[in-house]
């Protein structure tokens, strides 16, 4: 059976997944990732995820509120962004502030999950899924700070880290295409835009049905193909800019290196020349019987160096 290519997940988030009728797909993905059965209550809007008219952003934001009241921020990042780790910190912090009502107590702060689907290499590490939490560990006893029974009732949480934002970084390109579990099946789809007949992960069967480009109207298909074309052009432009930057950087580095090397050579040569001249003068003054201290003053050589010269002179004799 021929491989069936589905639409890109970033485009699906922009168009298909914003419909309540398709919430099951996103619920399936988040259930597999967060390892809990969950339901999406609604899509939220934020200053950080409003559409830009020129559509030049290479990320896709989706903000959802779960039935539990928790909030999930989902981003797809296609192109390299050096300060991405800082940006997701800013993003989650902004969401927390935006959804704490004026006059509300801090315990009303919403739990935020930051889910980041990355198609570029971020940081160093061999895994393709990274999970970040906030934990408080004792400096002396290495024990983890926990909640007491009263706090568990008030906060509705059974662990301290569950109060704070959690971060998921999915490095799609680092996945080796071997699906060992249902979450891997989702990662396979994110990377290859394909759902195999053997996959059983929640939401994937529905994604396979809804993300089929062949079922689009001619207008929808044209819109999607234009989107893919734009993404490819952007990727090509970024790669070209990167290569040009590397070339210019290497050229500048070589030129600067040669110049600095010559200058350093001059400095080192001058320094060595001055030292050799001082040593020669010291040897002559030793021959004339001048004291070590006086020679040191005249030549600016350390007394220990002059002593060594004196020993060399005695050996030669």
222 in a domain, yes or no?
A: no
Indicate if the alpha-carbon torsion angle 272, 274, 275, 277 is positive or negative: positive
Please give the model's pTM, rounded to 2 decimal places.
0.70
Three-state DSSP state, 114: strand
Domain coverage including residue 293: 243-316
Q: Examine the domain organization and report whether 162 and 258 are in the same domain.
A: no
| Residues 133 and 29 occupy one common structural domain | yes
Same domain, 149 and 278: no
Is there a contact between 82 and 36 (Cβ–Cβ < 8 Å)? no
Same domain membership, residue 130 and residue 183: yes
* pLDDT tens digits, one per residue of 51-101: 444 444 456 688 999 999 999 999 998 877 888 999 999 999 999 999 988
221 located within any domain: no
b/e map 75-112, b = 16+ CB within 10 Å: bbbbeeeeebeebbeebbeebbebbeeeeeeeeebbbb
Beta carbons of 72 and 116 less than 8 angstroms apart? no
φ, ψ dihedrals at 131, nearest 5°: -125, 125
Q: Is the residue at 237 inside a domain?
A: no
29 in a structural domain: yes
Residues 251 and 208 in one domain: no
Per the structure, the count of domains in the chain is: 2
Contact call for residues 70 and 40 (beta carbons, < 8 A): no
pLDDT tens digit sequence for 129-153: 999 999 999 999 999 999 999 999 9
Q: Are residues 37 and 145 in the same domain?
A: yes
Q: What is the pLDDT of residues 258-309, one digit of tens each?
A: 666 656 665 565 555 557 777 777 777 777 778 888 787 777 788 888 888 7
Q: How far is CA 149 from CA 12, 101, 121, 131, 265, in A?
A: 43, 27, 42, 27, 71
Rounded CA gap, 168 and 185, in Å? 17
Is residue 80 domain-shared with residue 147, that is, in the same domain? yes
Which of 195, 215, 235 finishes a domain?
Answer: 215
Structure tokens at 95: 């969401």
Q: What percent of the chain has pLDDT over 90?
A: 43
User: Are 25 and 168 members of one domain?
Assistant: yes
Residue 211 near residue 29 (C-beta atoms within 8 A)? no
Final residue before a domain boundary, out of 168, 196, 215: 215
Residue 250 belongs to some domain of the structure: yes
In this structure, what DSSP letter does residue 144 have? B
């Amino acid at each position: 059976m021929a491989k069936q290519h589905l639409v890109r997940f970033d485009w699906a988030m922009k168009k298909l997944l914003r419909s309540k009728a398709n919430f099951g797909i996103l619920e399936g993905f988040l259930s597999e990732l967060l390892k809990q059965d969950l339901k999406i209550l609604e899509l939220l809007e934020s200053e950080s995820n409003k559409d830009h008219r020129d559509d030049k952003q290479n990320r896709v934001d989706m903000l959802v509120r779960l039935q539990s009241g928790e909030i999930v921020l989902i981003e797809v990042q296609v192109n390299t962004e050096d300060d991405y780790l800082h940006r997701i910190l800013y993003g989650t912090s902004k969401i927390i502030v935006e959804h704490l009502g004026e006059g509300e107590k801090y315990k009303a702060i919403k739990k935020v999950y930051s889910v980041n689907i990355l198609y570029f290499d971020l940081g160093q590490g061999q895994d393709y899924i990274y999970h970040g939490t906030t934990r408080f560990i004792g400096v002396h006893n290495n024990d983890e700070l926990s909640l007491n029974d009263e706090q568990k009732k008030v906060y509705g949480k059974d662990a301290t880290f569950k109060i704070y934002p959690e971060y998921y970084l999915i490095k799609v390109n680092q996945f080796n295409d071997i699906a060992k579990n249902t979450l891997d099946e989702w990662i396979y789809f994110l990377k290859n835009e394909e759902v195999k007949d053997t996959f059983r992960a929640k939401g994937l069967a529905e994604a396979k049905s809804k993300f089929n480009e062949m079922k689009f109207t001619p207008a929808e298909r044209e819109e999607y193909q234009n989107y893919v074309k734009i993404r490819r052009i952007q990727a090509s432009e970024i790669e070209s800019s990167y290569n040009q930057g590397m070339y210019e950087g290497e050229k500048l580095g070589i030129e600067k290196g040669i110049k600095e090397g010559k200058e350093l050579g001059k400095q080192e040569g001058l320094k060595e020349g001055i030292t050799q001249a001082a040593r020669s003068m010291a040897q002559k003054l030793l021959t004339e019987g001048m004291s070590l201290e006086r020679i040191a003053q005249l030549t600016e050589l350390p007394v220990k160096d002059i002593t060594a010269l004196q020993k060399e002179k005695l050996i030669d004799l």
